[in-house]
Amino acid sequence: RQSIASNFILESMTLGRRKLIQQMHLAQNQNLTIPAILYHLERDLEISQKIQFLTTKGLKGKSLFAQMKPRIHFSRETFYLKASNIFGGQRGRDLLKTLYLHEELHRRDDKVSWSRLERILLRFTPGA
């Protein structure tokens, strides 16, 4: 049986539609709540935005990740670099804005909310 942590949703988005749908299905089957998923998704998007900002200042490698607060575990650095290339710019800001506009997702945890969240995430998934 596969397991998922709510902080792997953005990572699955960087891998494409099929992976995102698979991860959302696993999350729903494991009774993860939408607010928990949104918390980690928003945090990961903010980290990606910060990485892109620091990259534009000329930082890279160890010096880039030394500036990160909270610290990022080295096993996640490659993912965050990839995510910052995809979601560090306007696409990430648009996704955050869309999630904030759908604030009812934070309060509700039903089939309608799950399908709405999945549609939103698919719209912002590369190659979608």
DSSP 83-122: HHHHHSSHHHHHHHHHHHHTTHHHH--SHHHHHHHHHHHH
Question: Within a domain: residue 97?
Answer: yes
The predicted pLDDT at position 1 comes to 45
Give the pLDDT confidence of 77-101 residue by residue, as tens digits.
999 999 999 999 999 999 999 999 9
Count the domains in the chain: 1
* Average pLDDT over all residues of the chain: 88
The predicted pLDDT at position 4 comes to 64
Instruction: State the Cα–Cα distance between residues 76 and 84, nearest whole angstrom.
Output: 12
Question: Within a domain: residue 70?
Answer: yes
Instruction: Tell me the mean pLDDT in the region 102-121.
Output: 87
Question: Within a domain: residue 1?
Answer: no
CATH number at residue 116: 1.20.272
Which of 4-8, 32-36, 49-53 reaches the highest mean pLDDT? Answer: 49-53
Question: Within a domain: residue 30?
Answer: yes
Three-state DSSP class for residue 68: coil
Q: Among 19, 10, 27, which Cα is nearest to 109's?
A: 27
Question: Is the pLDDT reported for residue 128 higher than 70?
Answer: no
Domain that holds residue 12: 6-124
